[in-house]
Structure 1
Amino acid sequence: MNHKTATLYKRPSAFAAIGLEPAAAWAIILAFVLFTSVCVFAHLGSVLRFSYPLGALLVAFLLHQKYPILYLGFSWWLWFLTPCVSRISDFYAGQFDETRLVLLAPYLAVLVILPPLLQQLPKLCRGDTVPYILMLVGIAYSFGIGAVNGSLFSVAKTGLDWLIPVLFSFYLVLHWQNYPEYRKNTQRVFFWGVLVTGVYGIIQYTSMPAWDTFWLSAVIEKGAGSFGSIDNEEVRLFSTMNSPGPFAVWMMAGLLMMLSGQGAQGVLQIPASIAGYLSFMLTLVRSAWGGWMFGLVALGTSLSPKFQLRLILIVFVLALAVIPLTTMEPFAEAINSRIDTLSDLDNDTSAQVRRATYEGLLSQASSSLTGYGTGVIPTYDSAILDLLFTFGWIGMVFYGGGLLLLLLRLFKGNKGRSDSFTSTIRAIVLAMCLQLVFGNVLVRESGIIFWGFVGLGVASQKYYDHQTEGS
């Protein structure tokens, strides 16, 4: 057998044999996972506090250089799982880390795109990138106002919450040519994410792990009031994330994606959906429930007849599988009592608090011309109040204007109608827009979901525009 023939019959690598290609990229990712696991099993929580964010930065940098598709998937996973890693780190270190160093990991992973983006910036002030330039100007403005009115540390910390999701979205639009690969990668990540976080959430609800109990005790002691009771079967479920709200938003997006048949993985589709819906309901986040229903309607009306029929069939099968579980203990009491509040909002405490917040602060917020900048005014359960207080009307011209232009671009025309993933993106973005009144879904973990899908949606539009021009 000559050399050429021998090459043809070369045995595939172990990574290729299990579908993990390119092998070099997966070797980097798995080395990071293995090192993190060793630190966990060896109870090296203090080591994990520093090694995890630095390792995430290194892996993200290497993937961004040569494997941009896997870089996207790695970034998604960091946002989903890092809060849980932080709790494990605190538990084995024996103390609550006030600095929250581990939580820097997903921020650092996104920041690796900043240097190349700045190099290209002079060439980017045109077309679909103009809205992002406007928003970056608005964020820079809020940084400056915040530096005048508050401490630099608080300004930087809160400013990153606004900046990072926008950068992530900007990156996806700049690399719109990769849209088909981004679509496939995102489908796969969100399917496995729903399965993993959904199953973990049910375990957390019925038998909370020690690191979650340790962390939850600390944050409740510090005044956090959105988790319910620390006792099993009484907590508002937050799974691998830091609070019920962001987890509900993430699960809402993943479940809408799976409804359209995206990311289907054969026999695991139904178990993943059941775990996802049950954990989603146990968050008790009514705005996310409403967002899911709104997204479902938006998705159904935007799909082609063939996909609409499949959607109806999927919803029917899932209803048969999930509804009986929500009527069984230990799940029924918590879910049903929360549902009952939807018909009695006048006597609902959280609704009354939100109404009082708007009545007391909306006039003040809407009269702010310059805003207070990032990190000066406490955040509220409303993106509208946060936007007005942070940016003022001057900053809103840039940030709000850029946001509006992107949404108009996303919902413009019917290109990509045959691509159910594009329809799903629009449904998810619409569902999250509905929640702007009830929480700030533009920042942190929720912001990554919102802006990530806005970026994917605009990238899909550019991709199909190019396809039309080339035909």
Structure 2
Amino acid sequence: MERIFGISTLRPGIRMFLYGLIKLAGVIALGSIVGVAGSIDSLHMKLLEFTFLLLSMLISLQIYAYRSNLLLPYSLLIWVVSPEIRRLMDWSFQLYSDTSIISLIPYCVSLTILLPIIKNIKLIDRRISFISKIMGVALLYGFCIGFLKYGLASVYDLLNYIVPFLVLIYVNVSCFDRDVRAKWLRSFSYLAVIIAAYGIYQYTVLPPWDKFWMVNAEMNSIGLPESQNFRVFSFLNSPGPAGVFFGLALAIMTVQKKWRGFGIIGMMIVAFALLLTLVRVGWIAYIIMVIAYFIRSHIRNKIQLLLLCVIILSAYIFILPILPGANNVTSRINTFGSLEEDHSFNERMSFSSNILSEVLANPVGRGLGSSGQGVKLTQNADTLAAFDNGYLNLFYTFGLPLGLAITISLGYLFVNLFKLSKTEKVYSPISFAAISAVLFLLFASNILRGLSGFILLFIISLAYIPKSSNGEET
């Protein structure tokens, strides 16, 4: 704890006083937790959820103090596994709830990165500072007009936006060796293979805790709660986030061998899990990132990418047809060639047309909490849980001026990373690929929030590790 807050550098009297305050705060916090949990039904379940929250936070503080380069991989792990922990908890107690303390764990753990940000804020790059100021003004504005109307939903929405952008700042101001980036990307791909393997197991067996969640969540769009009759979601909340997660991980594994977990076999596992999600956006993210990296990388990487594309195409033609669920997968992929006949695509176009009219009618925006999963925390009927156009979601939430400012700042990142990738040919190209994916995927959904935003801005940040760091890999 002394390393975390720098208490050991203070005078003995002040140090003892601070220790007393910390202990008093801990007693008050624990007493409040027990009191709140005791006033709610299912006492044991709430206490267990609080225990997971506190334990996760303590681990994150320990990692920051002694192995700070592992803080981002740990945060990503928590983002990915917490939905499954929640499902196991609900199934164990046979009690389903739309809201859970477990859902707060990824945000609380990720906010640990505020400690090094505050400590090293003077080291922030002017380009990252520019993006941060625009996003900070937009979030402050959105929260002010949203909190009065949507309450806790606006707080939840604020966390969904702010955590991914904190990652961008954190990587920029942290004094890591530059080769730590390769370790981060490898850990991402190893995690993706494990999550994909579970997704394949889930598809073939359907564990009872996942089935319990499917039945009670009433998400009819993911299929029937029967093995091989639903869209895979693995550890994640739904097939959508799972598809984007697998698509981004597969792109990382494709473009560089040194970032690949479990080799070609690992790639095939992730690719098959992505197919089982039936999420086209995941494949679009993958294709865009690979093409963007191909354009900006070394010539030898281009040759390797072409060979890998041949292998993946061959696997699709010869191996996929003999695997379970092949018919569902191929029929979904065939819709790429006839989008005008696809029901989902037509619904998205109709939704965008209607929302555009609402945005123009209310150019000041509706504020944070007006859309997204946080709407479950409010009783306000004037909200939208699903939003099928990310650009319009920005305008809908922050208003036309600030929505446009955020869009321009993303364009600024695109141009800047394009220039950086002319000279640095390993990490700048993958960051450029990530911002390219962001700009394209925003046409489908708001991928700047939550897990997808965390991953994409984490990849974008890799090009902005300070130049003073050493140990660059080539």
* Cα shift at 1:358: 1.2
- Distance, in Å, in 2 between the alignment partners of 1:324 and 1:48 is 48
CA contact (8 A) 1:75 1:106 kept: yes
The counterpart of 1:269, out of the listed 247, 254, 263, is 263
Tell whether 2:341 aligns with 1:347: yes
SS at match of 2:368: coil
Q: TM-score, normalised by structure 1?
A: 0.81
Amino acid at match of 1:72: L
Tell whether 2:204 aligns with 1:206: yes
| Pair 1:323–1:278, CA change in 2 (3 A) | farther
Query: After the TM superposition, which residues 367-386 of structure 1 pair with which residues of structure 2 at under 5 Å, given as runs?
Result: 367-376=361-370, 377-378=383-384, 379-386=386-393
* Cα shift at 1:53: 1.8
Where does residue 14 of structure 1 map in the other structure?
Answer: none
* Cα shift at 1:401: 4.2
Percent of matched pairs sharing the same residue: 26
SS at match of 1:112: helix
Where does residue 232 of structure 2 map in the other structure?
Answer: 237
Deviations 1:347-370 (A, max 9, x none): 211111111101111122145332
- Distance, in Å, in 1 between the alignment partners of 2:364 and 2:188 is 39
Residue range with higher mean Cα deviation, 254-263 or 86-95: 254-263
Structure 2, unmatched stretches of 5+, are 1-43, 371-382
- Distance, in Å, in 1 between the alignment partners of 2:177 and 2:403 is 30
Where does residue 137 of structure 2 map in the other structure?
Answer: 137
Tell whether 2:396 aligns with 1:389: yes
Where does residue 305 of structure 2 map in the other structure?
Answer: 311
SS at match of 1:132: helix
| Pair 1:127–1:255, CA change in 2 (3 A) | closer
- Distance, in Å, in 2 between the alignment partners of 1:154 and 1:118 is 26
CA contact (8 A) 2:248 2:282 kept: no
* Cα shift at 1:416: 5.0
* Cα shift at 1:277: 0.5
- Distance, in Å, in 2 between the alignment partners of 1:113 and 1:187 is 18
* Cα shift at 1:212: 0.6
| Pair 1:400–1:296, CA change in 2 (3 A) | closer
Where does residue 445 of structure 2 map in the other structure?
Answer: 439
Deviations 1:383-408 (A, max 9, x none): 11210111002332553444333333
| Pair 1:369–1:303, CA change in 2 (3 A) | same
Deviations 1:4-56 (A, max 9, x none): xxxxxxxxxxxxxxxxxxxxxxxxxxxxxxxxxxxxxxxx9665422222211
Amino acid at match of 1:194: A
| Pair 1:367–1:411, CA change in 2 (3 A) | farther
The counterpart of 1:359, out of the listed 353, 357, 362, is 353
| Pair 1:295–1:123, CA change in 2 (3 A) | closer
- Distance, in Å, in 2 between the alignment partners of 1:263 and 1:123 is 29
Amino acid at match of 2:237: N
The counterpart of 1:217, out of the listed 215, 218, 223, is 215
Query: After the TM superposition, which residues 279-358 of structure 1 pair with which residues of structure 2 at under 5 Å, given as runs?
Result: 279-358=273-352
Amino acid at match of 1:281: L
- Distance, in Å, in 2 between the alignment partners of 1:407 and 1:418 is 16
Structure 1, unmatched stretches of 5+, are 1-43
- Distance, in Å, in 2 between the alignment partners of 1:416 and 1:63 is 34
Query: After the TM superposition, which residues 55-134 of structure 1 pair with which residues of structure 2 at under 5 Å, given as runs?
Result: 55-114=55-114, 117-118=117-118, 126-134=126-134
CA contact (8 A) 2:356 2:392 kept: yes
* Cα shift at 1:288: 2.0
CA contact (8 A) 1:131 1:401 kept: no
Residue range with higher mean Cα deviation, 44-53 or 251-260: 44-53
* Cα shift at 1:106: 1.2
* Cα shift at 1:155: 1.1
CA contact (8 A) 1:86 1:100 kept: yes
Where does residue 184 of structure 1 map in the other structure?
Answer: 182
* Cα shift at 1:249: 1.1
| Pair 1:391–1:315, CA change in 2 (3 A) | same
Amino acid at match of 2:287: M
- Distance, in Å, in 1 between the alignment partners of 2:317 and 2:55 is 42
Amino acid at match of 1:91: W
Amino acid at match of 1:71: L
| Pair 1:384–1:431, CA change in 2 (3 A) | same
CA contact (8 A) 2:131 2:409 kept: yes
Q: TM-score, normalised by structure 2?
A: 0.81
Where does residue 450 of structure 1 map in the other structure?
Answer: 456
* Cα shift at 1:316: 2.7
Deviations 1:201-242 (A, max 9, x none): 11111111111101111111xxx3431222221211111100
Give the paired residue count: 414
Residue range with higher mean Cα deviation, 51-60 or 273-282: 51-60
Where does residue 162 of structure 1 map in the other structure?
Answer: 161
- Distance, in Å, in 2 between the alignment partners of 1:160 and 1:94 is 29
Residue range with higher mean Cα deviation, 50-59 or 313-322: 313-322
